[in-house]
Each structure stands twice: as structure tokens, then as C-alpha cells.
Structure 1
Amino acid sequence: MNRKNLVLAAVAAAVCLDTLIYGIIIPILPAYSASLGASPWQIGVIFAAYSAALLAGTIPLGILSDRYGRKKIMFCGLLSLSLSTIGFALANSIMLLVVTRLMQGLAAAATWTAGPALVADLFSPEERGAKMGVLSAANGFGFLVGPAAGGVLYQWGGYSLPFVLCTVLAVLIGLLVLMVIPGHPSAVGRVANGQSLRQVLGNRGVLTGSAVILLGSIGFGFIDPLLPGYFTQKFNITPSTIGFLFAVISLCHIAAAPLVGRLSDRVGRLKLIRLGLIATALAVPLLAPAGNLLLTAAVMGLLGITFSLLLTPSMPLMADAVMPTEDNSHDAGYGAAFGIYNTAFSLGYLIGPLAGGGWLEFFSLPSLLVAYSVFLLLVGLPALTAGSRSLQAD
């Protein structure tokens, strides 16, 4: 394995660990928080602390990675992840759990800005989509394995065991990052004088990619919390069966993401994003008429592929947009661009549950699926088309 691919493997391992730990917490933390006397509202605060830290930290950490190098930010992120993970094992109060979740959110912000930016530094646009597809697949694998691993490890060794093992993994991956990622910014791209946040925010490619991420994450934002209850009422199934249905999405995404990324290198990012947007709009409403578990699993798998078409090319699209050209004397602002990427994703995850939950106060979930589909076609598609024309004009 050459040096660049070894660095890619280290970044993918960090991304996978971040989402693995996020998933492990899902079946464990609510019950443990309740045992400490947390109310439902306080449990919500504990979980929201992660998103708040991610939202607040992602752009500043992206800018810092442009200025001081990816390695420092990634290592600090993994150090924060190690401390937060062992913190979960030792926390004996609600306040400590909130602080630990804040640290975990900052760790994710570091990994999800410096990591993709490092890949953008190392690989040319002709291969960037394929390499970032690997990161997307690693992310999906972490989400797939995390909840199940958390439940199994909790049954084997109690509350602390999952966090102790993940702390060991975080330390090992941190050492891997120290060994394989070059320390000097010039070794992985000229990042010392990156583009300013204003310049990156004004970039049409960044705006287009951010809009795509926002649209897609809104869908995930309401699908994750609302579909389990809908499936339970519709099919009278157990949580393990619901977990299987969601695992189908992750498996199809893991399989599709590297292929989609590689295809975007050949045919263009925007073509696949447009296809993914239309396909997602057509597939989402199919969840309601699917009358049995087999058909429902097929639709969930289809969504894993369509969301991959929509989201996977958006990462290399944003990197391509801020790449220096002969007419642009500024260095690449990859860190700032991926900070904006993560901000858009976090906002979508915030808007999705709120909008979806509010909709269900008055209407049904099938109507919400149709409304989201219409939103993608009537708002998302014209916005993407306008963005495409602006990019072509440039």
C-alpha cells in the first residue's frame, strides 16, 4: 500500500470509529442516564449536546486545519474522542454526561473536517470521488455495526465495557494518525494560507454542495426517529426487526458509496447528484404502500442507494470548488469547505426531526413522505439546476 492510500486508510478508520462510538451509545446511554435520575427532557439535552458541539465546532476547526495542518486537528480530535469515551465509562452524574457528549461532538467536528480535507489535499479530482466514497462507506459501516455492538458488549460486560474497548481503539487509531500522516502542511498540500471563510462561503460550488447535503440530511433527520414507530404500528414487529430494516439502508449505502464516488470521477458530480435527488424523491413515498416486510426492506435498500447517489458526490464537489486554479492565487480552503459541509448536515438533522414531528401532530407519516418528495422535486431540483448553471457559467 502506497503512502497516500495508507493515509486514506487512517482517515477512514477515524471516521468509522467516530460513527461506531456514536452508534454504540444509542442502546446504552438512555437507560444509564435514567438510572442517574435524568428526566426525558434531560436525556434529550444529553443527546443534543453532541449536535450542539458539532455545529459550533465544525467551521472553526475546519479553518484551523487550513491554517495549521490536518494532522494536528485530527490528532486533537482523536484525543478528545478518547477522553470523552472513557468519560462515558466514568461519568456518575447528568452534568458529566453532558460535558462528555460535548467533547464527543467536538471530536466529530475535528474528524469530519480535517479528514475529508486531507483526502482532498492528497488526491486529484480525477480520483477524489472514489477515495471520498471510501470515507462514506466507512461512515456507513460505523452506523451499521455500532448499535448492535453496543447492545452485545453491554450484555457481556456491563455498562463500562463498550467504552473501555472503544477508548483502546481510539488510542490505537490516534497512534496510526501520528505515524502515517505527514506533519508538515506542505507535505499534503499548501494549507498555510487557505482561503478565508468569506471566500469559501461565496463559492457557488460550496453553496450547491451545502444545499444538497441539507436536503438529504433533512430526510435522514426525520426517517431515523419516526420510521421505527411507524413500522411497529404497521407490522407489529420487534426492535430487532426494525434494526434489520435500517441495517439494509446501511448495507446498500456501504456497497454503493465507493462505486458512486468512482463514477462521479468519470461522468461528473452534478449528474449523479441530480439522478440521486430524483430517485430519492420517487423512492421515499414507496415506504407507505409497501405491504410486507420483504417489500419494505427492498425500498429501504433502494433508499440506501439513492441517498448515496445524492450525498456521496457532494464531498468531492465541494473540494473541487475550492481547489486553486491558475487564476486563483489563494490556497485551497478544504477545511473551511468541509466545515460548511458538516454545518449543513447538522442543520438538516436538526430541522428534520422538528419538522417531521410537527407534521405528525396534524397529518400522517405517509403524507410526510409525499411532502418530502414534493419538496425535493419543487425546491431541491430547481435549486440544483440553478447551481449547475452557475458552475458551468464560471
Structure 2
Amino acid sequence: MGYLDIDRRILALAFARMVDSLGNSFLIVVLPLYITSGVVSGGTFGLAPALITGIILSAFGFFNSAIQPFAGNLSDRTGKRRIFVIAGLLVLTVSNFVYTLVGGYGAVLLVRVAQGIGVALTVPATIALVNELASDTARGESMGVFNTFRMLGFGLGPVVAGGVVAGGVVAGGPYLGGAVTGFEAAFYVATISALLGAVCVYLLVEDPEVDDEADAGEEFSLAVFNHVRDDKLLDPVFTLGVASLFMAVGIALLEPLEHHINTTLGQSATMFGIEFSAFVLAQVVLQAPIGTWSDEYGRKPFIIAGLLLLVPTTLVQGFVTTPLAMIVARFLQGVAGAAVFAPAMALAGDIAKGRSSGTTLSVITMAFGLGTAVGPLSAGYLAGISLPFGTSYAAPFAFGAVLALLGCLLVYTQVDETVNTDGSSERADAEPAAAD
């Protein structure tokens, strides 16, 4: 099956997420610099700059992950995914713009919370749409192609953002004759990108027809234990969610340490953006083919291999001493992430029943969002702990490596394969229970 055979609505959703992600990823580079630049004022409650930065960045993930399962379940019950996607993108549009109007730590925190709410409305409904529009034998491919577009935008953003901010970091920057600073220009790009994503979904995407209203989701509840297989303790979707959380923590450790990393490696914000994007480049190159291979060879082998590779590629980031070494480490970490993400989403999609896609898949997206919150917060805290080896900020990356190994062990012991050797997305073993 070629990529051009994928449902056009999946491609439209992928494009919309690409332009939206480009704008959102600006903030990965911009917000840490913005918070520590002196432009943001007000009390920090006696907290260190790295920790207050971590708290603000983490607020997005905490609210995002807390709301996602309920938004996903509500989209199941109403059968109206599209409106949730558009509403979330419009919330992001407004919140991205409001950054240009606020200048206190408290206000920046509130805007970050609003961003988390916007993403919580958008992500579960979008992934559920992709899952429902994909054919059973090409679910991994569809998830891979969708995430390739999303990560393409996410990867371009930090590289461009570093240059935008560097060109106008001084108050009264060079844009529009000095009327717009580099920070404001970055926030405007994020605003326009979210709005463009909303317009794309409005014009090009429709909800799939649903014949069986009885399959609509019930109230959200998270199944932790496996009640079907006696040889498995944990529910497979819950297990995949825990592994996704651990993976996201390791990926997000880099964000609040930008200042420390730039100082240690003697580099600029632009180089940090390149290092961040090296992870995304690997995702862009490998998501689609790995997703396709998982349709044929199975989901579980790729997930386990990816989590294993996450261990050394996360740990080494606390030891490198040159920008080139950090770029290589981030690229290989991206290879590991690519091996986990699309197959994990496809495996959970295989388990989802009827119109429960939003509820079931929100367990994975919720966990990933929670990981993006825990990662920066734990990095800000652990960066103050000195290890007898590595850089001054090696402790967070050692923590991330341990989590990746634990996630690998959980998937290996608690998750069954869902793809038969003939490539059909049916239970290769007895079917485990999905998230209720």
C-alpha cells in the first residue's frame, strides 16, 4: 500500500498537525529563553531559574494529560471528533497570541495552562480519527505517516525559532522597523500556525459515518489490571501508557536545561535548536517505514527494541562535551522514539473497540503528555544533584535511562502481539481487555 492510498482525511489531519506543531515547537526554544531573559518579571517564590522554568513548562503537560481522557471519551460519546480538533486549535491560537501581552511569571503560567487545555481537546480526537479512518491492515502505516508530518513541523520549529529569537532578543528588536521583538515574532508565528491548522481541518476533514450508536464510549475509567489473561497482571493499554510516559520523560529532559547545556557545550540557542531537532529528524525519516513494517512483522518487537535503545541514548546526553556529540545522541534517541510511537499507537488502536478509539487511545496520549510534564520538572529538580561522573546535569539523564529500561521490561512481560504473521491486525494471542 502506497502512502498516496491513505485516506485523504488522514493526510489533511497530518498537514494540519504539521503546521500547528511548527508553531508550538517554537515555544520549546522560546519559552525557556523568554522566562530567563529579564522580560518576564515578578516573584519566583524563591525557586531556582531552572526549576521555575520547569514548572511553567510542566504545567502544559499536567493539564494536557489530565483533560485528554475526558475529552477523548466525550468525542466517543458524541461521535463528533472534528469539532474537538478545531476548538482545541482555536484555543491554542488565542493562547499563543496572549504571550505577547503578558510579562509576569504568574500570567505566563496561566497561558501555558490554556495551551495544555487546547492540546487536550485536539490530540485524542485527532488520533481517534486517524485510527478510525485507517484500514485494519495499514494502521501502523497511517499512524506513522500522520506522526511523520507532525514531527516534521515540530522539528522545523526549534531551528527557525532559534534564529528568530537571536535576531531580536534585544528589546525593540529589528522586526518591522524595531516595533516587534524576536520573542513577539516567535509568538506570532505560533499563533498563525495554530489558526492555519484549524482552517485546514475545517475545510478538509469530515467525521466518518458511524452506523452503530451502541458502540459509543461510556464514562471514562482506566483499566489497570488485566482481567482476561491469567498470565498477565497489567492491562496492555495501561502498560503501553506507562511505557509511553517513561519515554516522554526521557525525551523532555532536555528542555529546561537549555541554559546549562549551552553554557557547558559553548553553543548558541540556534545550535540547541538543531540538537533538539536532531531527535525529530530521525522521527520524520523513520516513523512511516517503521509503522508500515509493524503492520507486517508485528508491533511488539519494534516497541521493545525502541525502549532498549532509549536507555543508552538518553544516558549519554549527560556525558557529551561537544555539540556534535549531542546531535548524534539526540538523533539516535529519535530512532528509538520512532520505533516506539507508531507501533504503540497502532497496537492500542488494534485493541480499541467500535467508537471507543478516543477513550482507549487517550490513555497513550495522556501518558505521553504527562511525561512531557514530568520530564522538565524532574530535570529542573535533579539538575541540582551532582554525580561523581558526567556533566553537572547528568543526573536527569541517568533517571531517564532507568525509566526506559523499566518500560521495556513492562512491555516485554505484560503486552501481547496484535498482528498475525500474515499482516492482519487481529489478535495473535488471546485478546486482552481494552481500557474500559
Question: Normalised by the shorter chain, which TM-score bucket?
Answer: 0.7 to 0.9
Q: Distance in 2 between matches of 1:264 and 1:349?
A: 25
**Equivalent position to 1:57, from 67, 71, 76:** 67
Ranges in structure 2 where 5+ consecutive residues have no aligned partner: 46-51, 169-174, 227-234, 419-428, 432-436
- Percent identity at matched positions? 23
Question: Pairwise mapping of residues 102-117 of structure 1 onto structure 2 (< 5 A)?
Answer: 102-117=113-128
Equivalent residue, structure 2, for 1:350: 373
Contact 2:124 2:361 in 1 (8 A): yes
Aligned-pair distance for 1:113?
A: 0.7
Question: Pairwise mapping of residues 278-317 of structure 1 onto structure 2 (< 5 A)?
Answer: 278-287=308-317, 293-317=323-347
Contact 2:248 2:368 in 1 (8 A): yes
Equivalent residue, structure 2, for 1:213: 244
Q: Distance in 1 between matches of 2:263 and 2:107?
A: 34
AA aligned to 2:309 is A
TM-score, structure 2 length as denominator? 0.76
**Equivalent position to 2:195, from 160, 171, 192:** 171
**Equivalent position to 1:134, from 127, 145, 149:** 145
- For the residue of structure 2 that corresponds to 1:361, the secondary structure is coil
**Equivalent position to 2:363, from 340, 344, 349:** 340
Q: 1:260 to 1:195 in 2, by over 3 A?
A: farther
Equivalent residue, structure 2, for 1:21: 23
Q: Distance in 1 between matches of 2:59 and 2:41?
A: 18
Equivalent residue, structure 1, for 2:204: 180
Deviation by residue 1:355-391 (Cα, 9 ceiling, x = unmatched) = 44337514255566456445543x3333112213597
Of residues 31-40 and 262-271 in structure 1, the stretch that sits farther from structure 2 once superposed is 31-40
Contact 2:20 2:190 in 1 (8 A): no
- For the residue of structure 1 that corresponds to 2:7, the secondary structure is helix
Deviation by residue 1:272-291 (Cα, 9 ceiling, x = unmatched) = 10111222224434446656
Contact 2:250 2:404 in 1 (8 A): no
Aligned-pair distance for 1:164?
A: 3.6
- For the residue of structure 2 that corresponds to 1:198, the secondary structure is coil
Question: Pairwise mapping of residues 1-394 of structure 1 onto structure 2 (< 5 A)?
Answer: 5-29=7-31, 34-40=38-44, 46-68=56-78, 69-91=80-102, 96-153=107-164, 155=168, 156=175, 157-158=180-181, 159-183=183-207, 185-186=209-210, 193-198=216-221, 204-226=235-257, 229-230=260-261, 232-233=263-264, 235-287=265-317, 293-322=323-352, 324=353, 331-356=354-379, 357-358=381-382, 360-363=384-387, 364=389, 365-366=393-394, 369=397, 372-377=400-405, 379-389=406-416, 392-394=429-431
Contact 1:216 1:311 in 2 (8 A): no
Q: Distance in 2 between matches of 1:184 and 1:372?
A: 39
Q: 1:307 to 1:231 in 2, by over 3 A?
A: farther
Ranges in structure 1 where 5+ consecutive residues have no aligned partner: 325-330
Q: Distance in 2 between matches of 1:229 and 1:26?
A: 15
AA aligned to 1:13 is F
AA aligned to 2:306 is G
Of residues 224-233 and 70-79 in structure 1, the stretch that sits farther from structure 2 once superposed is 224-233
Of residues 1-10 and 341-350 in structure 1, the stretch that sits farther from structure 2 once superposed is 1-10
Q: Distance in 1 between matches of 2:102 and 2:209?
A: 37
TM-score, structure 1 length as denominator? 0.83
Q: Distance in 2 between matches of 1:294 and 1:97?
A: 33
AA aligned to 1:198 is S
Of residues 196-205 and 245-254 in structure 1, the stretch that sits farther from structure 2 once superposed is 196-205
AA aligned to 2:203 is M
Q: Distance in 2 between matches of 1:368 and 1:168?
A: 34
Q: Distance in 1 between matches of 2:395 and 2:194?
A: 43
Q: 1:374 to 1:170 in 2, by over 3 A?
A: closer
Contact 1:77 1:106 in 2 (8 A): yes
AA aligned to 1:78 is L
Q: 1:43 to 1:120 in 2, by over 3 A?
A: same
Deviation by residue 1:117-154 (Cα, 9 ceiling, x = unmatched) = 10001012311111111232233223322233334445
Q: How many equivalent pairs are there?
A: 384
- For the residue of structure 1 that corresponds to 2:253, the secondary structure is helix
Deviation by residue 1:273-330 (Cα, 9 ceiling, x = unmatched) = 01112222244344466565544433332221112112231111111111x3xxxxxx
What is the RMSD computed on CA atoms of the aligned residues? Answer: 3.3
- For the residue of structure 2 that corresponds to 1:111, the secondary structure is helix
Contact 2:140 2:346 in 1 (8 A): yes
Q: 1:97 to 1:359 in 2, by over 3 A?
A: closer
Contact 1:79 1:174 in 2 (8 A): yes
